[in-house]
Amino acid sequence: MSERIGIYPGTFDPITLGHADIIRRGSKLVDRLIIGVTTNPSKNPMFTFEERCEMVRAEVDRLEIDHVEIVGFNALLMKFARKQGANVIIRGLRAVADFEYEYQMAGMNQQIDDEIETVFLMADVSLQPIASKLVKEIALFGGDISPFVSADVRDQVVARVEKIGRLGDY
């Protein structure tokens, strides 16, 4: 049997405890898991591409999983997956809205390359509400994000918010 190589793609801006849960669980399904940190033109990231790659690398090191690597990419996911020799795309689902979007993406990806399967992992129940976008919003309004991210990521987000300025005074 050939090596099972999985790709878990995302912008990870910032990486959350939900992402870490999918990485931990997804790594059990494959021989090698590549975390594909990507740029996304439709998003306005708080952190640079390099900062996000380093943040993900630090979180993966904290998980102590030896067959996970971080690779940045700026290409069509299926082309990136093919270049990496992947045969599985791993995606995390939080809610029905995620499923609708991911289902459509999986269908499009299958049209591009039907040899690469998409596997959906449901987020742990306690982590389902976590979204990077909401973490940033909470931080920008001065809220506590420690239930949603690791202490290191929290410190980086708080430092960035201090640099760019908080929103609101309530």
Which of 27, 132, 136, 154 does the annotation list as catalytic? 132
Q: Is 43 a catalytic residue?
A: yes
Active-site residue, selected from the candidate residues 19, 52, 136, 154 = 19
Helix H or strand E encompassing 90: strand 88-93
Annotated active-site residue in 24, 32, 57, 94: 94
Residue 83 appears among annotated catalytic residues: no
Query: Active site includes 94?
Result: yes
Structure tokens at 162: 């201090």
Q: Are 5 and 68 in contact (CB under 8 A)?
A: no
Distances (CA, A) of 24 to 61, 104, 112, 161: 11, 25, 28, 28
Alpha-carbon separation of residue 8 from 27, 81, 144, 156, 159 (angstroms) = 9, 10, 27, 23, 27
Catalytic option among 4, 43, 67, 83: 43
For the chain, report the end-to-end CA distance as a whole number of angstroms. 59
Q: Which residues contact 142 (CB under 8 A, 6 or more apart)?
A: 166, 168
Active site residues: 19, 43, 94, 132
